[in-house]
Amino acid sequence: MASESSDEGGNGYEPKILVFACNWCSYAGADLAGVSRLQMPANCRIIRVMCSARVRPEFVVTALSKGLDGVLVLGCHPGDCHYSEGNYFTRRRGLLLKNLLQFVGIEPERFQVRWVSASEGAKFADTVEQVTEQIRALGPNRPRSGNQSAEPGDR
Amino acid sequence: MPKTRVGVFVCHCGNNIGGVVRVPEVVEYARTLPNVACVEDNLYMCSEEGLSSIREQIAEHGLNRVVVASCTPRTHEPLFREACEEAGLNKYLFEFVNIREHCSWVHMHDPVMATEKAKELVRMGVAKARFLEPQEEFESSVFPAALVIGGGVAGMTAALGLANQGIQVHLVEREQELGGLIRGVRTLFPTGQASEEVLHPLAEQVRSHRQITVHLGSEVEDAGGFIGDFDVAVKADGQVNNLKVGAVIVATGAEELKPTGLYRYSELGNVVTQLEFEERFKGGADVPRNVVIINCVGARIAERTYCGRFCCTTAIKNAVWLKERDPEAGVFVLHRDVMAYGVQIEEFYRRAMELGVRFVRYDPENPPQILGTDGVDAVRVQHQLMGKEIVLPADLVVLTTPLVARDDNARLSKLLKVPLGGEGFFLEAHLKLRPVEFSTDGVYVCGSARYPANIPESVSQAYASAAKASIPIREGVVRAEAITALCDERTCSACGNCVEVCPFGAVELQEGSFGRTAQVNPAQCKGCGCCVAACPSGAMQQSGFNDRQLLSMIGALAEEMTGGVGE
């Protein structure tokens, strides 16, 4: 299948964005956006995790080094985590990871962490729209050194 | 390893998916993916016809993984898992792909993009499914007894709620007497009846109940374990009593704030708190003529932002008591706002005004001043409505302070592995939907331990917590979804990161066949995966969300899938 992001030159560039959504808040928020028929750009692909804190920084680095244009991690609002404090880890890891991305020459804006609750279908749709446009504005992600990250089955 | 054979089932959901996503195109695409042995579509995958087609294809094609692309796992996962199980396939070999809520419904005007997205989501689902493994759900038995910590109204009511269902209850009370905070209260709102009239029958029921063991003068010294199997050490007079229980209810209450440093409290003898006022006149001492009550003392301020909720009611109750004893008494209530919520309290508030209790609003920026040298003579206050300063003669000043969390809460929260909120009160699992449960299974909360609660509120919360706690005890077993963490002892370096980050105390470093390594107790693990992301060596993994599964999804999104897995 032709990848959308292969059309890098013209106006037809469609970024491909990986989204991690926690089961309890953000995935449910995304479901609510669907039930409410809120229309949004079709650039995001959600991977469901139980908690945003499950997202190992390596996943983000792997996704970006494989050429995906952006990674968005969504969790419950701080203080509202189903597991009490998972999203605090997400927040701290996110800040460090942004610094790391900048250090290795990847635009840190390609990686974003946002909070969306189960009742915030509209916020989910707005977030997808905003992040898609921000990443679209950055243009295609061109990782420098190909696929050097972990392959499935390495562990 | 047998050949991995994935079956993909794509749902039209009537027109909901099929009206936007070109399902036949998705079906054709899925056929090209590695390891896919069969692809079917159905108008409604969740219909009996759809479900039986899943069961039939599992048998016919020898499928050992199933992917359904339809709606959301949050509603339909149990149904499809069950269909797999009925066909003899472990239900954890099922993967859900959401192409309705996350695709057709939100890209209704762009069938081309929606179809492309659906294909990619299916590709990611197949990629993960290939690495799914069968799982056994962890089942453990529940010890048929409960511990209630705190012998106030909430704790006693909760204990009775459990004991009346035939459940053995240990009720632990720190003081030598049952009753809690209410023991210090003279009369109750709004009937004015003596608190003993409520307290004594309740305490008597508890004491005489065959299923309740009351531990007076006792404190919880240590606690460990998990739902169904808690070990609790209760200490009394230096003696430690070890109890085994299946569930724990925290009903430790709260205490009245002593407003040291405010309104010359503890400096002047006739400046007292509401509870001290109740205590002082319990024995029928001479009641002073002019009384000024100041509300919101130490509440709704920067360091303590919350409202004590029923302190206004307490102030009104005592003001009415003073006026009913002596209609000529001068009784002033200085307040910031009067929180007289609900029908009864509002009526009571009106009655206080009819009796001649004067309510004066003060400005917290310019609070009332206590006048007098050896004791209070008067209170000076800026009357906000009149816009001028007035001086009220006072023989006694009563300070209305909120309930505050007990210092001991922090210790108990660590022992029971349950959280505290910002103000030091216990924090429930969900403010609206799980108000008497903790996110830690098997531990429940009621009464003022959670937040200042009056008697009716404490009683309803106690009923609720008893009902909740009785569920696992009466079921006799607890089952956990098999998405728990698991440590590979061969690669674990015992750094302890996982122990640090686990919100539930489910991970411990223990000696095993590979030396000291992290070990997860599946009965305590809730499957968040915090420890997995914190593990530097990849030894910690989460069933159903392991690194290989998630990385394969990322890989499948980024590029074409090539090469099958298995033989």
Residues B419-478 pLDDT 10s: 888 799 998 887 788 899 987 789 999 999 999 999 999 999 999 999 999 999 999 998
Nearest Cα neighbor of A75 from A63, A65, A89 is A89
B533 CB within 8 Å of a chain A CB: yes
Tell me which amino acid residue B179 is: G
Query: What is the set of domains in chain B, with CATH numbers?
Result: 6-135 (3.40.50), 145-254+405-478 (3.50.50.60), 256-403 (3.50.50.60), 482-543 (3.30.70.20)
Dihedral sign, Cα of residue A7, residue A9, residue A12, residue A14: positive
Q: pLDDT class for B561, splitting at 50, 70, 90?
A: low
Tell whether the model's pLDDT for residue B348 goes beyond 80: yes
- Predicted ipTM of the assembly: 0.89
Residue B106 to residue A39, Cβ atoms within 8 A:
yes
pLDDT < 50 positions in chain A: 1-10, 146-155
Determine the Cα–Cα distance for residues B331 and B336; give it in Å rounded to an integer: 17
User: Which CATH number is A14-50+58-138's, of 3.40.50, 3.30.230, 2.40.50, 3.30.410?
Assistant: 3.40.50
pLDDT of residue A145: 55
Instruction: Give CA–CA dist B68/B58, Å, rounded.
Output: 13
Beta strands (DSSP E) in B99-167 are 138-141, 145-149
More confident residue, B73 or B562: B73
Query: Is A42 an interface residue toward B (CB < 8 Å)?
Result: yes
- Mean pLDDT confidence for B140-158: 97
Residue B141 has pLDDT above 90, yes or no: yes
- Tell me how close the Cα of A138 comes to any Cα of chain B, in angstroms: 18
**A89:B529 CB<8 A:** no
Q: What CA dihedral angle connects A54, B104, A140 and A59, to 10 degrees?
A: 10
Average pLDDT value over all residues in chain B:
94
Return the structure tokens found at B62. Answer: 């020898």
- Residues B272 and B399: beta-carbon distance below 8 Å: yes
Q: What is the pLDDT of residue A82?
A: 81
Interface test with A, best of B95, B109, B121, B554 (most A CBs within 10 A): B554
Cβ contacts of A56 on chain B, cutoff 8 Å:
532-533, 547
pLDDT, tens only, B233-286: 999 999 999 999 999 999 999 999 999 999 999 999 999 999 999 998 887 778
Give dist(CA B147, CA B163) in Å, integer.
11
Q: What is the pLDDT of residues B42-64, one digit of tens each?
A: 999 999 999 999 999 999 999 99
- Which residues of A are less than 8 Å from B114 in CB distance? 42
pLDDT of res. B440: 79
Domain range summary for chain A, segments of one domain joined by +: 14-50+58-138
Please give the average per-residue pLDDT across B87-114, as a whole number. Answer: 97
What per-residue confidence (pLDDT) applies to B299?
97
How far is the CA of A110 from the CAs of A67, A98, A132, B6, B124, in angstroms?
11, 9, 10, 34, 21
Give me the residue from B72, B526, B558 closest to A68, CB to CB: B558
Q: Which residue of A46, A49, A82 is in closest CB contact with B545?
A: A49
Q: Are the C-beta atoms of residues B250 and B412 closer than 8 Å to each other?
A: yes
Q: Is the peptide bond before B190 cis (omega within 30 degrees of 0)?
A: yes
pLDDT at A139: 94
Q: What does the pLDDT read at residue B53? A: 97
Mean pLDDT value across residues B186-210: 94
Mean pLDDT, residues B386-411 taken together: 96
Instruction: Please give the sequence-ordered ranges of beta strands (E in DSSP) within B258-311, or none if there are none.
Output: 271-273, 290-294
Pick among A32, A44, A65, A84 to test the B interface (most B CBs inside 10 A): A84
